[in-house]
């Protein structure tokens, strides 16, 4: 990562996750960090995640009998935020003089905690306020004072940062309205495809039944129930249609499963990616979606996508160009869209090619790195200007 000019800014990357061993973190940020490493010196990557005793101490006060709820509460507890921030602060101070800037990924901690001597830039894909506004989706584990305290910590972290970079217009609007950040403090830079290069376009055999793909480990939040109901309706018009359905946990009884092939969570990356060539389209009617990484992957494989209007994913899917957007919670509209694409192979091919071109043009991590580079350079220059000014003031005081 460090075969770059010595005079370029030295950036410490801080995030919750181990990008050397944790598959989820590697998939989400690996290609992005490689792109940044071609532009900057990255002497340190810091994992702010809590482990061992620190994690246990943070988890006990927010105990819940449901393991998933308890995990979410621990992940987004005020105590956890503070502990992660203190750990990041200690690491940053230990690297003082060795880094010029901190790039913080996500807002589960504050890299500017305790008047950090190194400036920071935050890059995030969502806000806790947006999650709290949709409690039915189950992504916001707290309410009342606990939520308010978290939102205040989140607000202060973003106010301390030299700049906040976001993936979508929706997140920028939330930062302005819910966190009182000035618009010029926020820059939309989008997000990238979690692949090092575009894959080859897979064939779509004419004799293969029209096949939809759903990927949503969080069954309810990702709209798994909506997909199954809509697919059953679509199958009344297209009886040979198939659905590849990837989700975690058990599917509630009573939902239609004819023509559905169910897959448990697939952690092997190669096996996971092999699902896209088996499908003709991807459907994702999420009740709450922070961005849509699987949409970008599907589009890279030439698949049109069906998503939901009014969410950040509508900044990825171009309605009637690269896919279709339907109103939220509308099973009938979702079924109509499935039926329409199932019966229009030439349209699917045209939309799929347009989506692939869009990803190549706007949604690679290299393009995101291009957009964030001047922001990081500017923030680093401000730090150096501050240091020069401090030295001048010190000399003036001596005189």
Residue 53 pLDDT > 80: yes
pLDDT at 8: 79
- For residues 270 and 329, membership in a common domain is answered with yes
pLDDT greater than 80 at residue 390: no
Q: Same domain for 387 and 267? A: no
Residue 265 lies in a domain: yes
Higher-confidence position of 2 and 373: 373
Amino acid 397: pLDDT: 46
**198 has a pLDDT exceeding 60:** yes
Q: What are phi and psi of 76, to 5 degrees?
A: -120, 35
Which whole number is the average pLDDT over 169-197?
A: 96
With respect to residue 248, please indicate whether it lies within any of the assigned structural domains.
yes
Contacts (Cβ under 8 Å, ≥6 apart) of 45? 12, 13, 14, 15, 19, 33
Q: Which of the four pLDDT bands, split at 50, 70 and 90, describes residue 3?
A: low
Identify whether residues 147 and 17 lie together within a single domain.
Answer: yes
* Average confidence (pLDDT) over 69-92: 92
Q: Tell me, yes or no, whether 146 and 251 share the same domain.
A: no
**Torsion region of 52: left, alpha or beta (phi above 0 gives left; psi -120 to 50 gives alpha):** left
Does residue 334 share a domain with residue 232? yes
Question: Is the separation of the CB atoms in 355 and 322 below 8 Å?
Answer: yes
Which range among 14-28, 136-150, 164-178, 306-320 shows the weakest confidence by mean pLDDT?
136-150
Question: In total, how many domains does the chain have?
Answer: 2
Please indicate, yes or no, whether residues 98 and 38 belong to a single structural domain of this protein: yes
In a domain, residue 2? The reply is no
Asked if the structure places residue 205 within a domain, the reply is no
Do 67 and 137 share a domain, yes or no?
yes
Name which of 36-45, 195-204, 377-386 the model is least confident about. 377-386
Residues 358 and 368 in one domain: no
Most confident of 218-222, 249-253, 328-332, 378-382: 328-332
The answer to whether 133 touches 62, Cβ cutoff 8 Å, is no
The answer to the question of residue 3 being in a domain is: no
Which pLDDT score, from 0 to 100, does residue 382 have?
58
Q: Check residue 399 and give its pLDDT.
A: 46
pTM: 0.90
pLDDT bracket for residue 234 (50, 70, 90):
very high
Is residue 131, in this structure, part of any structural domain at all? yes
Mean local confidence (pLDDT), 168-189: 96
Q: Rounded to whole angstroms, what are the CA distances from 128 to 5, 110, 142, 349?
A: 38, 14, 10, 38
Whether residues 244 and 254 share a domain: the answer is: yes
Residue 232 belongs to some domain of the structure: yes
Whole-angstrom distance, CA of residue 331 vs CA of residue 361: 33
Residue 138's pLDDT is 66
- Give the mean pLDDT of 211-218: 96
Please compute the mean of the pLDDT values over residues 215-237 and round it to a whole number.
96
SS3 160: helix
pLDDT at residue 386 above 60? no
Q: Where are the strands (E) in the chain, listed by range?
A: 10-15, 41-47, 101-105, 120-124, 163-166, 186-188, 211-215, 242-246, 260-263, 281-283, 305-308, 323-326
Task: Give yes or no: residues 349 and 392 share one domain.
Answer: no
What's the CATH number where 315 sits? Answer: 3.40.50.2000
352 neighbors 304 (Cβ within 8 angstroms): yes
Residue 216 and residue 346 in one domain:
yes
230 and 138 housed in the same domain: no
On whether residue 389 sits in a domain, the answer given is yes
pLDDT at 380 over 90: no
245 is in which domain, residue-wise? 211-362
């Amino acid at each position: 990562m460090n075969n770059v000019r010595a005079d370029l800014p030295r950036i410490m990357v801080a995030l919750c996750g181990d990008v050397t061993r944790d598959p989820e973190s590697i998939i989400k940020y690996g290609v992005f960090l490689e792109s940044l490493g071609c532009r900057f010196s990255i002497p340190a990557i810091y994992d702010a995640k809590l482990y061992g005793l620190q994690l246990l101490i943070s988890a006990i006060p927010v105990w819940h009998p449901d393991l998933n709820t308890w995990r979410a509460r621990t992940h987004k507890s005020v105590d956890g935020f503070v502990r992660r921030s203190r750990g990041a602060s200690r690491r940053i101070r230990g690297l003082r003089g060795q880094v010029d800037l901190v790039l913080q990924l996500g807002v589960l901690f504050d890299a500017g905690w305790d008047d950090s001597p190194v400036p920071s830039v935050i890059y995030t894909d969502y806000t806790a306020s947006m999650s709290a506004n949709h409690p039915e989706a189950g992504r916001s584990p707290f309410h009342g004072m606990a939520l308010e305290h978290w939102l205040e910590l989140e607000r202060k972290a973003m106010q301390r940062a030299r700049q906040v970079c976001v993936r979508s217009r929706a997140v920028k609007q939330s930062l302005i309205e819910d966190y009182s950040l000035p618009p010029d403090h926020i820059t939309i830079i989008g997000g990238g495809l979690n692949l090092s290069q575009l894959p080859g376009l897979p064939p779509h055999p004419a004799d293969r039944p029209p096949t939809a793909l759903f990927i949503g480990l969080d069954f309810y939040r990702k709209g798994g129930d909506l997909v199954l109901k809509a697919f059953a309706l679509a199958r009344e018009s297209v009886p040979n249609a198939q659905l590849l359905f990837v989700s975690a946990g058990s599917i509630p009884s009573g939902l239609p499963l004819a023509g559905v092939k169910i897959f448990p969570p697939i952690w092997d990356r190669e096996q996971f990616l092999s699902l896209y060539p088996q499908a003709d389209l991807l459907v994702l009617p999420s009740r709450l979606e922070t961005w849509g990484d699987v949409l970008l992957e599907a589009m890279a494989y030439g698949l049109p996508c069906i998503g939901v209007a009014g969410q950040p994913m509508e900044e990825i899917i171009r309605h009637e160009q690269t896919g279709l957007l339907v109103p939220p919670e509308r099973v009938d509209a979702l079924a109509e869209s499935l039926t329409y694409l199932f019966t229009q192979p030439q349209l699917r091919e045209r939309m799929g090619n347009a989506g692939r071109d869009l990803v190549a043009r706007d949604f690679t991590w290299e393009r995101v790195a291009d957009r964030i580079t001047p922001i990081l350079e500017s923030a680093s220059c401000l730090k150096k200007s501050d240091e020069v000014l401090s030295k001048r003031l010190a000399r003036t005081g001596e005189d």
